[in-house]
Structure 1
Amino acid sequence: MTILDKFTEGEVILPPNNPNGLTMRAKLLFTLIPSVIFILMVTGYIAYLTSTHFLNQALERSSKLQVKAVAHEIEGVLARGMQDLLFISRNFSGSEGLRKAFANFSDLEKVDYREIGFISQKDASHLYFVSRDNQVLQIQNSVISSINPDPRLYLEELARLKSGEVWISPIVEVEYPFPQVPNPNQKFRSKVIYFGTPYVFENGEQAGFLLLSMDVRMLRNILSLYNSPQSPLWAFPRTPELRFTYVFDLDGWMLFQSEDFGKKDLPISTDLARGDYVNGTLGKPGLEAAFRPAAHYLPFWKMVNDVKEERFDLIEMTGEAQEPSDVKSYSLSYTPIRFQEKVIAGIAYVDRTRLTLAAGYKHMDMMLILSIITIVAVSLIIFVLSHLITKPIFKLAAAVNNIQKSRKLEPIDIRNAGYEIHLLQNAINSMMDVVNVQMAEIRKKDLKIQDVEYREKIQLDSEFPKTSQETSIDPLPEMVGFGDKIEWLKSDILKAARADADVLIIGETGTGKQLTAEAIHRHSRRNNHPFISINCGELSENLLQDSLFGHVKGAFTEAKTDRKGAFLEANGGTLFLDEIQTASSNVQQALLRTVAVRKIKPLGSDKEFDVDVRLICATNIDLRLLIDKGQFRSDLYFRLKVITIATPPLREHMENIPVLVDHCLRQLRDVTRREGLGMSKGALEKMKRYSWPGNVRELMNCLTRAFVMTTNHTIQAEDILLDADEDKSFASGRLNSAQVKDTANEKQHVSKETDHMRSYEEGIDSKAFPAFHAAVQLNTRQQKVIPYLLSHKTITRNEYQKQVDENVSARTANYDLQDLVKKGMLKKQGSGPSTRYVLTEFV
């Protein structure tokens, strides 16, 4: 039986044959434990009262700061309206000047002014302008009387003003005439506040009055802003209790309240503000949502009287909970709103926070836990102290202190310290072992959770930009992507398609310049005529001239037949010249003449031919730099640069990576019949962190390679092979286990490359290509180019050489391509330098 068992059974407390009664340990237990519990309860209660007091003070200060900040913002807007009106009165220069000033203040200062008018005292030469939806319309003198209420009713108030003084009205609902061409009788209503001031000639004679009105919803939106996460005072997330702000006048009318900041066009209301007031008057002339509580609501009327006397304060209120989660008690802080040093209204902030109540519950929980821990700790200390001597205690304390200083959970080993010390030492060591094991388990679980999360299949459409959900009918579905960059590109394409002028497309490699050219042709009036594409960088000078302008039979030794050339082949349609910057000076000169006169002369011919061709050129180099170096003709540049379209690099619209990945995966699934193969979160994050210097083409190639080479149902991060330098940012952000796994997978990739033919055949359904079966054997060069074929659907001899190896000869490349044609995988289109090989599935 252990000492602990004896302790629980009472043998240690009441040892046998002890005539003196309780032992010292028992006395300490029965004396210290109740005393400690009592002290904890008293100190805990005092701490609770103290913390609650200061917490309430902090909440009061926060509420007062909130209402003060909102009042200051509203006063600033009102002061801005006054300043704008005074500025207009000092610089008034007739109808056009008044209109421009009105429009400029609305646009530049982002103030929602509704109307401005000059009311003449001498004659009927009034000027009146009304604004709605950024349109400013002048109201004729004959129609001013249809404004309800008529602004001339305020002449009595305005007549009391001196020069430089500004009058402000209460909130008024005004009906404005707003005639338009389709609807000459159109009217609209708006709740506004008027600013008025006299207009005086330079000789001091008063000519009339200027009126400026401001939409009240602008002031309401200030309340909504400061009650939202976009508030300038927002410092941390708030608990979800009901909070709102409302404005009241000096007669006790609640005028309007804060709303959802995202819904700025909501009508004026006081639903929340009047929720705690059962009795009162709802609605007043010009403001049907206004509410005035009955006289027996004393705290409310105390607030109104305080505001009249320019005081601000906070009142603890008790009312009905407006929502099940609300508390009945809440704080009501208020402060006056001043205009020209006079109080014109008040603003109140209702905060139904449960922070004090939650803090009280937490305090009680902590006191209970602290009491239990204290009881256990005191009992253990008393139990240990009764069996220990001073020296072993000091040794043990020193050992524990060393652990605290070194912060290393290493075992304690104190020899010959007594049985009790040995028990305590073992307990401490066991606890440290458990903590070490638990910490290791926690780290291990974190790593597993992280790894599992990154390896889970992700729904790509959930990663699409928000603008993708707002898009209705896409006029250019072949241009994949969303956002401003892509929308601008699509807009430029459609504009260029309608214009029927020559186009210069500029953009980095892989940004879709040919796709842009094809889209322009497809949506132009020439879409029923040929679209001819030539890459100037693939051909020598003579071949390029022959490809463009053609030749007649006998023009040179190998000219056995006539050749029309690209200009004549594209007659009536579109000719696309890629990499135009590589054209030699002779080709540039020939192109300049052709573009200027729209005539060509084939090699060896004495006859010129008229051509009706739309020319689209593309370059990935700034042609102005080549012009400065004398490598490109400036006159040709300005001939080509009728319409310029820039294709954005992928790094400027990275939000479209999930869209592009989804589009590419759909194409690959259609080609390979590998349904269900998706993308993991880790792989997508890895692609998002990469800068893609090769743009969309590099992304498609990378994804195609991963799609073809993976044998799993989900593409993982290790399947996405990127440049090592660019991939460091992602690798450093992953946890250690993910790093180890990526490293192991990278090592395995070497063996995968040597045997990727087997995995490729396993990953592609043989039905995708008519002749692609187990009996078909591809050489190493052909295997390398398969991912490129799956992504682009077509290839030329030059592209084949680049994908395989720059050192591969043209003869070898032609042999490999002809071999793929014989095996039924490719079909040859065109002849000569414009020859292309297309996947059989897509012919």
Structure 2
Amino acid sequence: MLRRFSLAGHQPPTDRHARANTPWSIRQTLLFVLVPAVIVLLATTGLLLMRSANSSVETAIARGSLSLTLAQARELQNLLAGCREDAVALAHKPVTRERLHDFMEGAAAARGMVYAEAASIPAGPDDPVVLLKSDGRVADVSPDVAHRAQNGPLTLPRKATSLKPGQVSLSALTEVYYPPMGLGFEPRQRNLALFRLTTPVAGPDGRPAGFLVLSIDARAARNILSLYNSPQSPILGFHRTRENRQSLFVDGQGWMLFQSEDVTEPTRELSVAGVKPGLSGDTGSPGYDGAFRPAPDHEAYWRMIEAIRQGHAGMERAEPGFGPPKIASSDDFVGYAPVRFAGGSDDKTEVVGGVIYIDRSLLPRAAQFDQGNILFLATAGSTLLLAALIVVLSGRIARPMTRLADALREMRHEGHLREIEPPGGAAEITRLGRVCNRLIAALRAREVTLGDSRDGAPREALPLEMKPPIAPKARQTPDEPSDAQPPTSDPFGDASLSDRQRGTLAALLDRGVFSRQDYQDAGGDIPQRTAQHDLQDLVGRGILDKDGRGPATRYRLRRGSKR
């Protein structure tokens, strides 16, 4: 048997065995399977997290942009509300030239360039009083020049005739042209863009004695938008990157009236040139040639106008070409909010226009760039760490298996069956080592069973050549033939031993001293009670000697019982 085992180890493997072998080691398999899987998992998770984080960043920026839009609209409402209060207070009693002049000078000193024009139009045949402010001075305008002025203050709107004392009407943005005159000014023409407030003047009997017209310089409203788009903004909470951001004032008909400008140029003329280059539409509204209205195909813009008409505020994604040119590749966030005006003494208001704020931020792009770097570093670091762990763990897993394979290879070259040392390692590898030892024990038991008897044959006995064992006379049945052959010679001196006892003792021949657990392992996980019974039987037959008691019991094969 040993000779056959040794010769079989030198035979080349068949194709069936060669195909069953994998070309990859455990380390290669783990590297080629786990590393790509972890990279895909980390990349997928990182991309999903990036998308969620970018959505949160964009939501936060949109909320900040909407807050700034609402703040600008609120400031314009406060401006109109303050001017309305001035008009109502001034028209509370008859307006004389002196009162109107003092008011214009006081307003210029206290509020700057808010009022550019004022007029008192009496209901009777008296001449009207028209005052014009320019370069910090207030001067009278003759009725003749006032009548010749384009869109002058002496032409009252239709709805002014239905106003009651305390009620104020607000006109649309109007472009006023005064011809050259020399009354208090150098002879030159005057172009003004004004919002006019008109209110009845109370007479001595409580009836309207005329009308008061206060004209708000539209640049004062424009300067509010410029202030909120500048580093001097009253709600600036942090420093922002340099980018072309823009605020627009629009009316309910969709006309762009003016845009924010540099805060250091408060007297600059109104314009919408910064936002209309990428848009198509109409130029010049009734009464104001500088207005611009985008074409209906700019759907995002008209959605904002419709929402402003209904008194709603919100955010809208900018379409391509909307707003001033970009300095960098930033994202646009467009907020809109209505501007309301209360013309009466009650709290009822009407929408007279709206603010559209084009905010631009590099933060989403910067966040994506930072998150991409973090994802790359995390993926690369995790991949390297995983590869290192695979190399270490695969080595620890494969090393005991390699030792086991080397021990079996050495045994094959030696041509001698012997018990191998447990390879250690994981529980599965230890179990594999025990299985190998049991297989070796079974081969050795088969060698003993098929080997020569004590008086010996010159070669191994093959299974077909072996004669069946004959039971002792005490165990023979009466029907058994009397010419039965005598039992063959037994290596343990007792032919009545069971195959399990023979095989287990054969596996323990080289051990010398062994325990009950060793007997169980050598026999292939023999149950404890069966092992105890076998050992007691072997001790009673005189094949084994027993030393000790309890867990310290050890068994030794008697010298006369070995082959």
For the residue of structure 2 that corresponds to 1:90, the secondary structure is coil
1:363 equivalenced with 2:357 (yes/no):
no
Mapping 1:283-432, distance limit 5 Å: 283-320=284-321, 323=325, 325-327=327-329, 330-340=332-342, 341-383=349-391
Q: Which amino acid aligns with 2:112?
A: K
CA shift at 1:173, angstroms? 1.4
Q: Is the 8 A contact 2:248 2:357 kept in 1?
A: yes
CA shift at 1:215, angstroms? 0.9
Structure 2 residue ranges without an equivalent (≥5): 1-20, 343-348, 398-563
2:470 aligns to what? none
CA shift at 1:82, angstroms? 0.6
1:112 equivalenced with 2:120 (yes/no):
no
1:749 aligns to what? none
For residues 81 and 326 of structure 1, do their structure 2 counterparts lie closer, same or farther at Cα, with a shift above 3 Å needed?
same
Distance 1:324 1:108 in 2: 38
Residues 41-72 of structure 1, C-alpha deviation per residue, up to 9 Å, x if partnerless? Answer: 12101101111111121121122111111111
For residues 343 and 223 of structure 1, do their structure 2 counterparts lie closer, same or farther at Cα, with a shift above 3 Å needed?
same
Please, which moves more after superposition, 312-321 or 177-186? 177-186
Q: Is the 8 A contact 1:221 1:264 kept in 2?
A: yes
1:647 aligns to what? none
1:38 aligns to what? 40
Q: Which amino acid aligns with 2:42?
A: L
Distance 1:150 1:109 in 2: 24
Q: Is the 8 A contact 1:167 1:195 kept in 2?
A: yes
CA shift at 1:143, angstroms? 3.9
CA shift at 1:111, angstroms? 4.6
Q: Is the 8 A contact 1:242 1:326 kept in 2?
A: no
**Could you state the TM-score of these two structures normalised by the residue count of structure 1?**
0.41
For residues 262 and 109 of structure 1, do their structure 2 counterparts lie closer, same or farther at Cα, with a shift above 3 Å needed?
closer
Mapping 1:462-611, distance limit 5 Å: none
CA shift at 1:202, angstroms? 4.1
Mapping 1:22-421, distance limit 5 Å: 28-90=30-92, 92=94, 94-154=96-156, 156-176=158-178, 179-180=181-182, 185-277=187-279, 279-320=280-321, 323=325, 325-327=327-329, 330-340=332-342, 341-383=349-391
Distance 1:184 1:326 in 2: 46
Q: Which amino acid aligns with 2:212?
A: L
CA shift at 1:293, angstroms? 1.4
Q: Which has the higher helix share?
A: 1
For residues 67 and 28 of structure 1, do their structure 2 counterparts lie closer, same or farther at Cα, with a shift above 3 Å needed?
same
For the residue of structure 2 that corresponds to 1:152, the secondary structure is coil
Distance 1:323 1:297 in 2: 18
For residues 174 and 320 of structure 1, do their structure 2 counterparts lie closer, same or farther at Cα, with a shift above 3 Å needed?
closer
Mapping 1:704-743, distance limit 5 Å: none
CA shift at 1:193, angstroms? 0.8
Q: Is the 8 A contact 2:129 2:143 kept in 1?
A: yes
Distance 2:294 2:376 in 1: 45
For residues 93 and 346 of structure 1, do their structure 2 counterparts lie closer, same or farther at Cα, with a shift above 3 Å needed?
closer
For the residue of structure 1 that corresponds to 2:361, the secondary structure is coil
Mapping 1:664-675, distance limit 5 Å: none
Q: Which amino acid aligns with 1:157?
A: K
Distance 1:108 1:89 in 2: 20
Q: Which amino acid aligns with 1:211?
A: V
CA shift at 1:199, angstroms? 0.6
* Identity across the alignment (%): 29
CA shift at 1:311, angstroms? 1.4
CA shift at 1:374, angstroms? 1.2
Q: Which amino acid aligns with 1:191?
A: A
Distance 1:72 1:104 in 2: 25
For residues 72 and 324 of structure 1, do their structure 2 counterparts lie closer, same or farther at Cα, with a shift above 3 Å needed?
closer
CA shift at 1:217, angstroms? 1.0
CA shift at 1:91, angstroms? 5.2
CA shift at 1:178, angstroms? 7.6
For the residue of structure 2 that corresponds to 1:41, the secondary structure is helix
Larger radius of gyration: 2
CA shift at 1:177, angstroms? 6.2
Q: Which amino acid aligns with 1:36?
A: V
1:502 aligns to what? none
CA shift at 1:23, angstroms? 6.5
Structure 1 residue ranges without an equivalent (≥5): 1-18, 390-843
Distance 1:134 1:195 in 2: 21
Q: Which amino acid aligns with 2:87?
A: L
For the residue of structure 2 that corresponds to 1:145, the secondary structure is helix
**Could you state the TM-score of these two structures normalised by the residue count of structure 2?**
0.61
Distance 2:161 2:121 in 1: 12
Distance 1:93 1:227 in 2: 39
Residues 242-293 of structure 1, C-alpha deviation per residue, up to 9 Å, x if partnerless? Answer: 321111111111111111222222211111221331x311123442221111
For the residue of structure 2 that corresponds to 1:154, the secondary structure is coil
Distance 2:353 2:184 in 1: 42
Q: Which amino acid aligns with 1:45?
A: L
| Greater RCO (CA < 8 Å, at least 6 residues apart) | 2
